Structure 1
Amino acid sequence: MKTHLIVQGTDIPTRDLKDLAKLAGADAIEAISATAFRLAAANAGARAEVATFCESKALDHGWVPADRRIGDFGLLVMDMDSTLITIECIDEIADMQGLKPQVSAITEAAMRGEIDFAESLRRRVALLEGLDKTTLQRVYDERLQLSPGAETLLAAARAAGIRTLLVSGGFTFFTERLKARLGLDYTAANTLETADGKLSGRVLGDIVDAQGKADWLARVRDELGMDAHQVVAIGDGANDLKMLAQAGVSIAYHAKPVVRGQASYALNRVGLEGVIPLLGGVRPC
């Protein structure tokens, strides 16, 4: 089977592309966009040498079957915090109560896989007890930003008829607003309990943890009558690993090392638009 090498970066010198093409024995260098190039019919036997070269030049790369097309996929599953959006919502909520260092430390430990996610979430949410619930809207309005390339990726998915699922260990307050804003098909997250206009420090119902994310992916996939190879999943932390394992193509986005080591692809330098060439597509105009 022929394989293309996708190379991506914010500024790729022509010399580096030519050196890579020679190293990988590629037939041609094809520009996909200003930051993405396809090295056609590359030799996958050069994976180790290419990986070393790309790391030394701060480039993202991925080996893609030559016959892959974005239309082969039917479901795109994304994590929210630090993936679809640039922030960790709970850390920003805590910041408004002067508790960001304590909460962020727990968040980081959970993302590295050092603390069970459900336990880490309970501990973090407990620290928010008594916070006015209007703080959630302030975080959404003042601090929440989409990751670079998010809307470009979603536009390409819509154009290809791909359904979208945003599944998060964060909170429904944010996922539901993003669903309406971005036209997402499905969302799942945790619900913060409130009482008398304030956060109670508790989460309602079952916590959407690593297994919960994987279960939601499987539920929507089966509902749509799809197979695993039609699913793409994107995440950044240890809590995403079970979800990523359920997908035919998994992408570690600016992720922790434990995630990069287990995903199909890793994007460390470009934004979410970098997913599109890995799926055999091109960026929409």
Structure 2
Amino acid sequence: MHLILQSLSPDSSAANAIATLSAASKITLISPTVWRCEDVIYSDDLKAQIDAACHAAQLDYAFVPPTRKLSDFKLLAMDMDSTLINIECIDEIADMYGLKPQVSEITEAAMRGELEFNESLLRRVALLKGLDASALQRVYDERLQLSPGAEKMLAAIQAAGIKTLLVSGGFTFFTDRIKARLSLDVTHANQLEIVDGKLTGKVIGGIVNADEKQRTVERVCAELGITAQQTIVMGDGANDLKMMGIAGLSVAFRAKPVVRAQANLALNFVGLDGILPILA
């Protein structure tokens, strides 16, 4: 296997120490902050050692077959909140209403897998009843930012001819705008009900939960004539695990422990563009 190490700093001392731990036959500097350790003999015990050492040194790592390339994939599926973007939109909407602590607590429990997603969404949306819908635009304009590395990653993905899917347990108000802004191919999310310019505290139609996220990835794959193994899926919360589980490559981005434990690789420190050196 190749072991790819990535850092936010060009200081190579930690990377060299971890490369030595891996017993790599060769270490190649890919960029000032990316190292490739070649001919590493993978084992679960070695992975555990590398994981602990990288966490302590604030390095990201990935074990990848030498033949694995970006061209192996035809679809990139992404979660939105706290993955493609740096906020949980519903928490920021609630903040406009003075209810962020209550809503954030429910959000966190759901993302850790401690609370069923449908229940968590309905409880959170209900708390927003009566809020002026203009709060949605304020959140988009004032608080929503793309996660680090998002634009660089998407530029490379789109240049490679890979289709993009944004599938979110959040809301169409935001996915529609991000789709247009980033030229994404497909989006799917929940629709907030708005009457007379106010949120009613309800959603329209079915809820985009873990099962629906998986079905959406499968549906888009079928439409493209590809298999789920040709898909990269990125997420951060427990409701992303089912779609990540069918992917050819699952990527946990700044994710909850339950997600990091099940993903093929985790990006805890570098940006979303950290997947590019891994698949170079």
Normalised TM-score (structure 2): 0.96
Secondary structure at 2:61's aligned position in 1? strand
Looking at structure 2, the residues matched to 18 and 122 of structure 1 have their Cα atoms a distance apart, in angstroms, of: 49
Please state if 1:119 is matched with 2:119. yes
In 1, Cα distance between the equivalents of 2:114 and 2:15? 39
1:246 equivalent in alignment to 2:246: yes
Q: Report the equivalent of 1:187.
A: 187
Paired residue type of 2:20:
K
Most deviating of 227-236 and 33-42: 33-42
Number of matched pairs: 278
Give the aligned partner of residue 11 of structure 1: 9
Distance 1:175 1:34 in 2: 34
Answering whether residue 93 of structure 2 is matched by residue 93 of structure 1, we say: yes
Deviation at 1:12, TM superposition (A): 4.9
RMSD over aligned Cα atoms: 1.2
- Which residue does the alignment assign to 2:31? 33
Look up the match of 1:262: 262
Q: What is the TM-score normalised by the length of structure 1?
A: 0.94
Q: What is residue 157 of structure 2 aligned with on the other side?
A: 157
Pairwise CA distance, 1:168: 0.2
What is the CA–CA distance in structure 1 between the aligned matches of 2:237 and 2:15, rounded to whole Å? 31
Cα deviation 1:109-134 (Å, max 9, x = unaligned)? 11111111111111111111111111
1:1-285 equivalences in 2 (<5 Å)? 3-45=1-43, 46-278=46-278, 280-281=279-280
One-letter amino acid matched to 1:155 = A
Conservation of the 8 A alpha-carbon contact between 1:17 and 1:29:
no
Instruction: Give yes or no for contact 2:24–2:39 (8 Å, CA) kept in 1.
Output: yes
Unpaired segments of 5 or more residues in structure 1? none
Deviation at 1:24, TM superposition (A): 1.8
Residue 165 of structure 1 contacts residue 185 of structure 1 at CA under 8 Å; is this kept in 2?
Answer: yes
Letter in 2 for 1:98: G
Deviation at 1:6, TM superposition (A): 0.5
Deviation track 1:236-257 (CA, whole Å, cap 9, x = no partner) reads: 0111111111111101100000
Taking the aligned partners of 2:57 and 2:212, their CA distance within structure 1 comes to 38
**Counterpart residue type for residue 168 of structure 1:** S
